Chain A
Amino acid sequence: MTIPVFEPWNDPEAKPLIQFQNVTKRFGDFTAIDDLTIGIYEKEFFALLGPSGCGKTTMMRMLAGFETPTEGKIFLSGQDMAPVPPNKRATNMMFQSYALFPHLSIWENIAFGLKREGMAKPQISDRVNEMLRLTRLEKFASRKPHQISGGQRQRVALARSLAKKPKLLLLDEPLGALDKKLRQDTQFELMDIQEQTGTTFVIVTHDQEEAMTVASRVAVMDNGRIIQVATPDRIYETPNSVYVADFIGEVNIIDGTATPNGENSYSVAWKDGQAPLNVVSPNSLSDGQSCHLAIRPEKVTINAEKPTGVDNVVAGKILDIAYLGNLSTYHVELPSGAVIKAQSANTRRISRRAFTWEDTVWLSWTATAGVLLAE
């Protein structure tokens, strides 16, 4: 039995729910969004990821209708959104500060949007109760927002924004105010709710782990541009630039010069005195082009003895060990002065470890472990 894969972005027939078409947004001289074109599909959980000031919040506020593009168009189900004010859009937003109305009870907060719609009282009541059940808030219906905890408030905000059954739900750093443990639990809750309701979610976050956990696709942004859009695994395994590789997780970047020596295969000359590295990479590079090899620490194996039959091997001295409990990250200094990070799972007790500070060790990795990047 095969599980159908959800990837409408690979289907040329699929029409995106949201279409950004050459959208630019300027605030005075500052360009927040720079000529951005992208499609987001129905039922996607789409994450906008980037450092603060990269334009991700502006993009979301344009979808909600609080900002209008300076140039370009935004379509929602094929309709140009420019003339539609926020209160007439089929989108709802969950605010970073939750923005719960302090003078209304939880029940009234959730019912607020439904009442504005002119829905009949019994239906409002049914829908609010359904949302309270979904977010497990039945007991708190009559409380005021200041009488419940932060995690509960966050769920009220979610329930309120989902109550109107929006085509698109926008989440602005929704979990930023929660502590780590609660945040992780809530991430899974969010995914469950997204699956149950079938709503398209767009989430803004600066937390790469959060984006990777919840999203079907992640857009990494910088300076008003989208650098790469892909599924979390592709963003991690095959970043398209040093920026993306560096932004997502830990990475070793080795600068060198590429020489093709086979199909998709390169020999990379790097620091003087070291043997060239063997790399297999789908990104095509010309002869003598300078390049960066991005390789994740967990894909570098650390050994006390020189391993044989490996594609790449270098010797170095352990400079630092970051002990994380389940994992340890070794900072290994090569004779040329470069430092390479290698990560290994602590499958044995720490006292049984074969090497420690100042020991000479061998680092090895396969030809396919890294990605060769031109920029």
Chain B
Amino acid sequence: MKRISWFNTVSLTLGFAFLYVPMLILVIYSFNQSKLVTVWAGFSTKWYGELMQNEAFLSAAWVTIKVAVISSSIATVLGTMAAYVLVRGGRFMGRTLFSGMIYAPLVMPEVITGLSLLLLFIGIGLDRGVMTIVLAHTTFSMCYVSVVVSSRLVTFDRSLEEAALDLGCSPSEAFRLVTLPIIAPAVISGWLLAFTLSLDDLVIASFTSGPAATTLPIKIYSAVRLGVSPEINALSTLMIAIVTIGVITASLVNKRQMVRQQREENEAGRN
């Protein structure tokens, strides 16, 4: 193993400290016994216990998870379909425009996305609640799914689908029996990405949520404005944990797929 020079050690430490010290402090203070957030008074998990008693937080958490699961599932279906058409649909008028447009929401400021959705919902007279948040989250997370899936489809050997057709599959059977199982890892990591994005989102949710449905990020944000309580620290720690698990799983799934793809390509190249 190569030794890292002192300069690299310092820059690595600084960089990671910059990224993770704030979160680390939050996690540490979530185990603080004192009610005062900034004074350490010994280790305790009592705030986690209190959190479990807090009806408002629990219902917000339930809404958040419900929204994340539903919106990421719809986004996965729509995003995969969009990616498939854009990669496989052959040449059609405005194809380049469409593939550009599917990525545009990625760089669109969230405030604008949120505001435009709010105007739309008011315009068509849709009551804001769980449904509107689901719609809004589907809208923006769909592009991420589409990016992940289309990058997999680009390297997908077209003759596999032709072979399926040749052996008697209808086009939809070919997709279900051959294409989908092979691109499944990309679809799964797209879903996980959409799920974590939905879990995190504050801006768009705050535009599209109603009094009946508040998501956890909104709840935390409004609670913090009245003062940081150790309960919030505990809650945030739990969210960090969930998001971390989601991201790590997504990247592991993706990496495994990459390794396998690499191996198959190497073998194909060798022959």
Contact between A103 and B182, CB atoms less than 8 A apart: yes
The docked-state distance in angstroms from the alpha carbon of A96 to that of B162 is 12
B264 touches A117 (CB 8 A): no
A116–B168 contact, CB under 8 A?
yes
Q: Give the residues in chain A near B178, CB-CB below 8 Å.
A: 101
Question: Which residues of A are found within 8 Å of B100, using beta-carbon distances?
Answer: none
Jot down 16 A-B pairs with beta carbons below 8 A, ordered by A.
A65-B166, A66-B165, A87-B166, A91-B166, A93-B166, A97-B159, A99-B159, A99-B163, A101-B178, A112-B167, A113-B167, A116-B173, A150-B270, A150-B271, A160-B167, A164-B168
What A residues does B264 contact at CB under 8 A?
102, 146
For residues 157 through 177 of chain B, which have their beta carbon under 8 Å from a beta carbon of chain A?
157, 159-160, 162-170, 173, 177
Contacts of A177 in B (CB 8 A): 271
Q: CB-nearest residue of chain A relative to B166?
A: A93
| CB of B107 within 8 Å of the partner chain | no
Q: Is A178 an interface residue (CB 8 A)?
A: yes
Which residues from chain A sit less than 8 Å from chain B, CB to CB? 64-66, 85-87, 91-93, 95-97, 99, 101-103, 112-113, 116-117, 146, 149-150, 153, 160-161, 164, 177-178
Give the contacts of B136-191 with A (CB-CB under 8 A): 157, 159-160, 162-170, 173, 177-178, 181-182
Complex CA–CA separation, A149 to B264 (angstroms): 12
CB of B55 within 8 Å of the partner chain:
no
Whole-angstrom distance from the CB of B187 to the nearest CB of chain A? 13
The 5 closest A-B pairs by CB, nearest first: A150-B271, A113-B167, A116-B168, A99-B163, A99-B159
Known interface pairs A102-B182, A116-B167. Does A178 touch B271 (Cβ–Cβ under 8 Å)?
yes
CB atoms of A93 and B163 under 8 A apart:
yes
- Which residues on the A side are within 8 Å of B108 (C-beta)? none
Tell me whether A146 and B270 are in contact (CB under 8 A).
Answer: no
B268 at the interface (CB under 8 A from A): yes
Residues of chain B having any CB pair with chain A under 8 Å: 157, 159-160, 162-170, 173, 177-178, 181-182, 260, 263-264, 267-268, 270-271
Q: Is B167's CB under 8 angstroms from A92's CB?
A: yes
Given the complex of chains A and B, what is the CA–CA distance between A65 and B263 in angstroms? 32
A160 to B167, CA, bound (A): 9
Task: Give the residue among A103, A150, A164 with the most B Cβ atoms within 10 A.
Answer: A103
State in angstroms the CA–CA spacing of A232 and B182 once bound together: 43
Known A-B contacts A146-B263, A146-B264; the reply to A97 vs B169 at CB < 8 A is no
A90 shortest CB reach to chain B, Å: 10
Interface residues of chain B: helix, strand, loop or mixed (majority): helix
Assuming A87-B170, A112-B167, A116-B167, what are 17 further A-B pairs, CB within 8 angstroms? A64-B166, A66-B165, A86-B162, A86-B166, A97-B268, A99-B159, A99-B162, A113-B168, A116-B169, A146-B260, A146-B263, A146-B264, A149-B271, A150-B271, A161-B166, A177-B271, A178-B271
The 8 Å CB contact of B166, one of A92, A96, A117, is A92
Please indicate which of the listed interface residues A96, A112, A164 has the most CB atoms of chain B within 10 Å of its own CB.
Answer: A112
Q: Which residues from B are CB-within-8-Å of A65?
A: 165-166
Determine whether the beta carbon of A146 is less than 8 Å from that of B160: no
Determine the distance from Cα of A329 to Cα of B219 in the docked complex, in whole angstroms: 88
Chain A residues whose C-beta falls within 8 Å of the C-beta of B169 in the assembled complex: 87, 116
Taking CB as reference atom, which chain B residue is nearest A182? B271
Q: How far is the CA of A185 from the CA of B2 in the complex (A)?
A: 49
A190 to B163, CA, bound (A): 20
Name the residue on B nearest A117 (C-beta). Answer: B168
Residue on A nearest B162 in the bound complex, by CB: A66
**A99 lies within 8 A of B160 (CB):** yes
Chain A contacts of B181 at CB under 8 A? 103
> Looking across the interface, which residue of chain A has its beta carbon closest to that of B261?
A102
Q: How far is the CA of A102 from the CA of B264 in the complex (A)?
A: 9
Let me know if B167 and A164 touch, CB within 8 A. Answer: yes
Quote the shortest CB–CB distance from B217 to chain A (angstroms). 38
Q: Let me know if B267 and A95 touch, CB within 8 A.
A: no
Nearest CB in chain B: distance from A106 CB, A = 14
Nearest Cβ in chain A — how far from B102, in angstroms? 27
Which residue of B is nearest A92, CB measured? B166
Min CB distance, A62 to chain B, in Å?
13
Across-interface contacts of B270 in A (CB, < 8 A): 150
Expressed in whole angstroms, the minimum distance between the Cβ of B188 and any Cβ of chain A is: 14
Enumerate chain A residues within 8 angstroms of B260, measured Cβ to Cβ.
146
Q: Are A95's CB and B162's CB within 8 A?
A: yes
Instruction: Give the residues in chain A near B159, CB-CB below 8 Å.
Output: 95-97, 99
Kindly list chain A residues whose C-beta atoms are within 8 Å of the C-beta of B164: 101, 112
Q: What residues on B are CB-neighbors of A116 within 8 Å?
A: 167-169, 173
- Choose from A64, A101, A150 the contact partner of B160 (Cβ within 8 Å): A101
Q: How far is the CA of A153 from the CA of B169 in the complex (A)?
A: 22
Please name all residues of chain B whose beta carbon is closer than 8 Å to the beta carbon of A150 when the two chains form the complex.
Answer: 267, 270-271
**B174 nearest in chain A by CB position:** A87
A113 cross-chain contacts in B, Cβ below 8 A = 167-168
**Smallest CB–CB gap between B163 and chain A, Å?**
4
